[in-house]
Structure 1
Amino acid sequence: MEVEKVQVVASSFLSKGAIPAEYIRPEQEQPSVTTYHGPVPTIPTVDLGDADREGLVRAVAAASREWGLFQVVNHGIPAEVIVELQRVGKEFFELPAEEKEKYASPPGSQSLEGYGTQVQKEIDGKKSWVDHLFNKVWPPSSIDYKYWPTNPPAYREANEEYVKHIRKVANKLFGCLSQGLGLEEDAMKKALGGDDLQYNLKINYYPPCPRPDLALGVPPHTDLCALTLLVPNEIPGLQVLKDRKWYDAAYIPNALIVHIGDQVEILSNGEYRSVVHRTTVNKEKARMSWPVFLEPPMDWVVGPLPQLLTNGEGDDQGSGNPPKYKAKKFRDYMHCKLNKLPQ
C-alpha cells in the first residue's frame, strides 16, 4: 500500500541521508525554513481538575479563542490506561508489514478505517512521512472489529478502556466550551449529535526520517471534526501556527493535547478557532500520537448556534452577529474538506 512505502523508504534511505523528491516539501513549508526559533509563547495548559468551575470555563474558553489548542492536565485518565494504550499501539507498528496489512481497507473501499489508509488528498503529488491505523471506537453500533488488530492480543481491551475515560474528558470540555459562550452546559454536545457523537481513534506512526528539515509528517491543516483529544509520545513534533509563525508545542508528560476543530468553530460562529497545525519528524526516533477525533453523525446538520446569532437590526452601527458559516450535513462538509473543494 502507499503508506507502507514510508517505512520501506525510511529504512532504505536513512543511511544515505536523503529522501525521494515526493517527500520534500515546498520551501515555504520546510521546517528548517519556517519554524520560529525565537522566544516561544506558552501554549495554554488547563488544569481540568480545577474545583473552581468558573475559572476552568474561563481558561478553556480563552485558550480556544486565542490558540485553538491547549494541553490538559489532571484529566482523570489513569496513567496506566494511557501507558497500555501506547504499548499496544507501538507493538502493532513494530509487526512485520504483512501482519499489519491484514487490517488494511480493501482496494477501492470508501472506508477511512484500517491500516495505511490515506485520509486526505495532498496537493502537487507530495507525500507525508507517516503511517497510520484508523478505528471507529464509539458508539458501539459504529464499530467494525475487522479493522481492530488481534495482534497484540491486548489491543481491543486497552482501547476500550481508554475510550471509557476519554468520553468523560470530552463531556467536560464540551460543557466548558458551551458555558464559555454563555450557553447551557449541554448546548454544544446537543448541537453535535448528543450521545450519537462519533469517536474515531487514529494512531500516527512517523518513522525516523533522514531529512527532517525537508519533510513533514502531516502538512498544515485544521481538523474537520469538532474536537481532537490527543496523546503524544515523548518525541516532539507538533507545531502550531499563530500570528503567522510556526511554534513547537512542548511535551508535557501525562497531558492530553486538545485541538479545536472546524465544527466547534462553526458552532461558535468563529468565536473559537480551529487550530492550524502540522507535524515534523525526527531523524533518530519514531514519533507516535494517538488522536481521537469527535465528529457529529454523517447526516447531522451543523451550523452556527442560533442562540449566538443576531442580525444587528435597530443598531445604528449595523453591528450584530450574523452567521459566518453555512449550515450543512457533516458528510457534505467532510467531502469538501477531504477533496479540497469550496465549502
Structure 2
Amino acid sequence: MVTSVAPRVESLSSSGIQSIPKEYVRPEEELTSIGNVFEEEKKRDGPQVPTIDLKEIDSEDQVVREKCREQLKQAAIDWGVMHLVNHGISDELMDKVREAGQAFFNLPVEEKEKYANDQASGNVQGYGSKLANNASGQLEWEDYFFHLIYPEDKRDLSIWPKTPKDYIEVTSEYARQLRSLATKILSVLSLGLGLEEGRLEKEVGGLEELLLQMKINYHPKCPQPELALGVEAHTDVSALTFILHNMVPGLQLFYEGKWVTAKCVPNSIIMIIGDTIGILSNGKYKSILHRGLVNKEKVRISWAVFCEPPKEKIILKPLPETVSETEPPLFPPRTFQQHIQHKLFRKTQDALLNKQS
C-alpha cells in the first residue's frame, strides 16, 4: 500500500477549513498579482490569447491554406499559446474525455488512493498531489492523475482508472487523434522556420519516440483563492502541450509584463509551445510563462497532454538553420533530461536566494 505523503487537497477543501495551510500560501511578491479569476476572465480590454481556426489548414486553395498557417505561426511567435478551434477532434469525444476524468475524480478519495503514485521512488504515474520539489517547500492547490497515453506500446494500462468503464477507450481514442493533430501543428511550425515539413517532428522523436503524457489537474474549491495558486508560474518543458478544461477559467499567461487570463472558448483546445520547440527554433517560437488560479465557487479540472521528446536519445539545441552570425544560439546543447534537471536546479537556487534575502 502506498502511503500518501501530502494530504489530498480535495480532503482539505471538503474539511470545511476557512484558511489554507501555510505551505499553500504564495510568497509576498506573487500575491499582488492574484485577483478574482471570474472578474479577470470578463475583461475585454488589453491583450487576448489568440484564437486560431484550423479549418483551412489543409485547404487545396493555396492562398487560403497559407493564410491559416501564417496565423498559427504568428501566434507561436508572438504568444506561444493559442485557442485552437476546428481542430478536427469532435465535441462529442472531448466531452467523453471530460466526463471520464470527472467521473474518476468523483470517486471517494479512498477509491482514488488505490491508484496512488509513489513519487519518492520515481513512480510518477497515477493519482497524486504536488510534493514540494523546490527549497521554498511550496505546494499547489491541486490533486492530479498522471499517465502516459501514447505511443500505445509504451502505456501501462494496469494503472489506468477502471472506473468509469469507458475511461481507457475514450482516452486512447483522444490520444490517437491528438497525436495526429500534433503532427499537423509540427509541420506548419517546421515550414514557418523554413524547414522541410517533417523536420520538427523528426527532431522531437517522431511517431515512435515522442511521448504523450496526460495530467488531469483537479483544483478543488479554495477558501482563500487570493493566497493560493493551482499551478505555480512555469514554462512547459514539452514540445507542445494541449489543454482541455471544464470551462472554469484559471489559466493565466505572462504576456508583455502582465498576467493575462485565458478566456473560456467553447469547443477549443488550448495549445502551448513548450521549451523543446523554443530551443529547437532558437527562441523564434515562444515558450510562454503561465500559471493556474483557483477559486471559491467552482472546481476546476484541466486535461493537459504534454508531447515530450525521449529523455536521453536526442540532444536538444537550436537547429543550424535557426542560427546565424546575427542570431547566435541562445541555448546550450542538452538532453531533455538534462534540461529538466537544469530547470529544477535553477528553481531550487532561486528559492534559496529568496529565503536568504
Superposition TM-score, scaled by structure 1 size: 0.91
Q: For residues 134-168 of structure 1, what are the alpha-carbon distances to aligned partners after superposition, in whole Å with 9 as ceiling and x for unaligned? A: 01011123211222111111110110011111111
Q: For residues 165-210 of structure 1, what are the alpha-carbon distances to aligned partners after superposition, in whole Å with 9 as ceiling and x for unaligned? A: 1111111110111111111111111111111211001100000001
Counterpart in 1 of 2:354?
none
CA distance in 2, matches of 1:6, 1:276: 24
Tell me how far 1:236 sits from its aligned partner: 0.4
> Among residues 191, 197, 209, which one is paired with 1:185 in the alignment?
197
CA distance in 2, matches of 1:249, 1:187: 30
Check conservation: 2:116, 2:127, Cα contact below 8 A: yes
Counterpart in 1 of 2:243?
230
> Among residues 310, 323, 330, which one is paired with 1:309 in the alignment?
323
> Among residues 145, 161, 166, which one is paired with 1:133 in the alignment?
145
Counterpart in 2 of 1:30?
31
CA distance in 1, matches of 2:204, 2:296: 40
Counterpart residue type for residue 217 of structure 2 = N
C-alpha distance 112-193 of structure 1, shift in aligned 2 (>3 A)? same
Tell me how far 1:26 sits from its aligned partner: 1.6
Does residue 10 (structure 1) correspond to residue 13 (structure 2)? The answer is yes
CA distance in 2, matches of 1:208, 1:11: 8
C-alpha distance 119-141 of structure 1, shift in aligned 2 (>3 A)? farther
Counterpart residue type for residue 329 of structure 2 = P
Percent identity over paired residues:
41
Q: What does 1:258-273 align with in structure 2 at a 5 Å threshold?
A: 258-273=271-286
Q: What does 1:130-169 align with in structure 2 at a 5 Å threshold?
A: 130-169=142-181
Deviates more, 1:78-87 or 1:321-330: 321-330
Q: What does 1:46-85 align with in structure 2 at a 5 Å threshold?
A: 46-50=52-56, 51=59, 52-85=64-97
CA distance in 1, matches of 2:159, 2:210: 20
Superposition CA RMSD, Å: 1.9
Q: For residues 268-312 of structure 1, what are the alpha-carbon distances to aligned partners after superposition, in whole Å with 9 as ceiling and x for unaligned? A: 0010110100000020110000010000011121111112222x2
Structure 2 alignment gaps of length 5 or more: 350-357
> Among residues 283, 307, 320, which one is paired with 1:294 in the alignment?
307
Check conservation: 2:278, 2:287, Cα contact below 8 A: yes
Q: What does 1:303-342 align with in structure 2 at a 5 Å threshold?
A: 303-310=317-324, 312=325, 320-339=326-345, 340=347
Check conservation: 2:130, 2:142, Cα contact below 8 A: no
Tell me how far 1:336 sits from its aligned partner: 2.5
CA distance in 1, matches of 2:92, 2:32: 34
Counterpart residue type for residue 332 of structure 1 = Q
Check conservation: 2:231, 2:293, Cα contact below 8 A: yes
Check conservation: 2:132, 2:139, Cα contact below 8 A: no
CA distance in 2, matches of 1:190, 1:328: 17
Check conservation: 1:31, 1:215, Cα contact below 8 A: no
Instruction: Give SS of 2:8's match.
Output: helix
Counterpart residue type for residue 211 of structure 1 = Q
Tell me how far 1:5 sits from its aligned partner: 2.7
Superposition TM-score, scaled by structure 2 size: 0.88
Counterpart in 2 of 1:241?
254
C-alpha distance 53-244 of structure 1, shift in aligned 2 (>3 A)? same
C-alpha distance 32-321 of structure 1, shift in aligned 2 (>3 A)? closer
Structure 1 alignment gaps of length 5 or more: 313-319
CA distance in 2, matches of 1:204, 1:75: 22
Q: For residues 216-256 of structure 1, what are the alpha-carbon distances to aligned partners after superposition, in whole Å with 9 as ceiling and x for unaligned? A: 10010000111101101111000110111111100001000
Instruction: Give SS of 1:43's match.
Output: coil
Tell me how far 1:31 sits from its aligned partner: 6.4
Q: For residues 103-141 of structure 1, what are the alpha-carbon distances to aligned partners after superposition, in whole Å with 9 as ceiling and x for unaligned? A: 122463212211105377244122110000001011123
> Among residues 102, 107, 116, which one is paired with 1:104 in the alignment?
116
Counterpart in 2 of 1:315?
none
